[in-house]
Amino acid sequence: MTSTREIILQALFAQLQTIDGPKVLRNEVLPERIPTGGLIILCDGDPGQPEIMLSPLSYYWQHQATAEVLVTDANAATRDAALDDLFASIADVLAADRTLGGLCDRVMPDAPVITTLGIDGAPSVKAATVNIELIYTTADQLG
């Protein structure tokens, strides 16, 4: 039997995979090369500690999943534009279904934390971490 938490993470992953252009992975390590269209790596993140609600006993989660978003190009302006395009695509795809088909009470991305990584002999990589809050309720603490 698959947990509610895993079903929600699978649904979020499927939703991110509908974005045209980047390669979308889940819980993978950073590959040696960033694909031309960019890369999004969804990490399961931290479910945190739930609020316990009584009658009926249930657990209210504010789970923080993380999307690592990466682009590369020799031109800084092109990298900036590509990363911004991916942010817009992530925002659009999440706004299209804020409940992941009714699995969550709410799906909300936070503002990105952006950095540029210099790699010897290769174009720079512009990277960002986007926390995605998943708010949902389960019948037990194991999700």
CATH code where residue 62 lies: 3.30.70
Residue 62 covered by a domain:
yes
**How high is the pLDDT of residue 117?**
82
Question: Residue with structure tokens 């936070």?
Answer: 110
Question: Is 23 part of any domain?
Answer: yes
**CB burial of residue 126 (10 Å; 0-12, 13-18, 19+):** buried
Give residue 115's pLDDT.
93
Does residue 143 belong to any structural domain of this protein?
Answer: no
pTM of the complete model beyond 0.75: yes
What's the domain range around 96? Answer: 4-138
How many domains does one find in the chain? 1
In the structure, what pLDDT confidence band is assigned to residue 124 with cuts at 50, 70 and 90? Answer: confident
Ranges 63-67, 78-82, 95-99, 119-123: which has the least confidence: 119-123
CA 71 to chain CA centroid, nearest Å: 15
